[in-house]
Amino acid sequence: MTYIFRNTEMNNEKASNFETKSLLYLIGQRSDSKDVVYVTFDCFNDVSGINKKTDKIWDIQSKNERTLNPKKIGKYFYTLFDNFTSIFDFEDFIFFCPELKLEYKIDPLKTTYNLDNIVDKTSKRIKKGLTEEIERVKGNSTSYALDIDSFLKKVLIVEDKSTNNEYIKAVTKFKNTNLKNDDFYSSLFNDLRDIQTAKKNSYIENSSISEIREVLNFRRYLTTKDIETLIISRIIGCEIFKYKSIPIYFSQVLDGMDIEDKKDLLQECNSNLSRAFFNKNSNKTFWDVCEKIVEYRTSITDNDVENIYLLLFVDYKFRISYITKETIIYLISIIIEGLDDN
């Protein structure tokens, strides 16, 4: 049994913006967002999340249309339904859309809901739209009535209620998202959208796979760590994990060392930062440390890295052995340069 990719054409910019919103919803606004490790683009659907073991998929169909009538909603459910009947285990089937008409809903205040929140008249029209689309694509020689009923109990409607910037802020792990202005978050959203669009510049139509993990071979994905790295690099002002130079303000720490000792310390600091960021047990600490440094340095022009360390971290209790004093001072030095350059 194989899964065949169909209808994988590139979308216009308006749809791309909306798909970036659905990506950020997936990795930042769900109770299970932490379980998503890979996010694919225009493969299984507009956006799909995959877990670390590559045995679960979160499926998102996004439609940025202001006039979504019930029959059209049902029609657009088709891709989700097709995946529901496929060989793979999909964790959730999500229809991401603008706010639907209040008259369609039983509880008009809900923005995330199953079809049990849809009034009966509207629900029947949605089902009719889906049924007609299935017959149009698959023909009517096979009855999908039971599959349709089972699918409609699972599908989740998520209404888009946030701005581009609000979605980005939800993914940022800083407590104080006001450290950066709206123009910054808007630019970051656009950067992510452009990366997402570029990932779709390949042809996979009619390609097939037999295991979920094989979709990664098409390179149409980002990892959640890729997105976190983009965000922290933009906030700091440099690509922190590709930093090759010796930070100017770190030179005072290196004074008096011979060349080999300098190399060893720089390599150790680089390695420690990567471990702190990519290890789930220390990732939160990494973001907390960065936020303290950025917050302080944004408000006060202070280039004395030793002094900044003493002010912010001398009483800070680190439980992670590789988050050393030297590593934090190295990070402070990088952040100073990044902020000054921007």
Rounded CA-CA distance 202/9 in Å is 9
Q: Judge whether residue 244 has pLDDT over 80.
A: no
The answer to whether the pTM exceeds 0.85 is: yes
Whole-number Cα distances in Å, 43 to 205, 209, 311: 9, 11, 49
At residue 193, the 3 state secondary structure works out as: helix
pLDDT of residue 240: 84
Q: Judge whether residue 280 has pLDDT over 90.
A: no
pLDDT of residue 15: 52
Residue 228 · residue 28 · CB < 8 Å: no
Name the token pair of 318: 């680190």
pLDDT of residue 39: 97
pLDDT by residue (tens digit) across 254-263?
998 999 999 9
Mean pLDDT along residues 240-246: 82
Rounded CA-CA distance 308/325 in Å is 12
* Confidence grade of residue 9 (pLDDT, cut at 50, 70, 90): low
Rounded CA-CA distance 144/263 in Å is 65
pLDDT by residue (tens digit) across 290-324?
999 999 999 988 999 999 999 999 888 778 888 99
Residue 220 · residue 45 · CB < 8 Å: no
Q: Are strands 90-97 and 156-159 parallel, antiparallel or unpaired?
A: parallel
Q: What residues does each domain of the chain span? A: 3-230, 241-341
* Confidence grade of residue 2 (pLDDT, cut at 50, 70, 90): very high
pLDDT by residue (tens digit) across 163-222?
999 999 999 888 888 888 999 999 999 999 999 989 988 889 889 999 999 999 999 999
- State the residue for tokens 């079809």: 115
Q: Judge whether residue 32 has pLDDT over 60.
A: yes
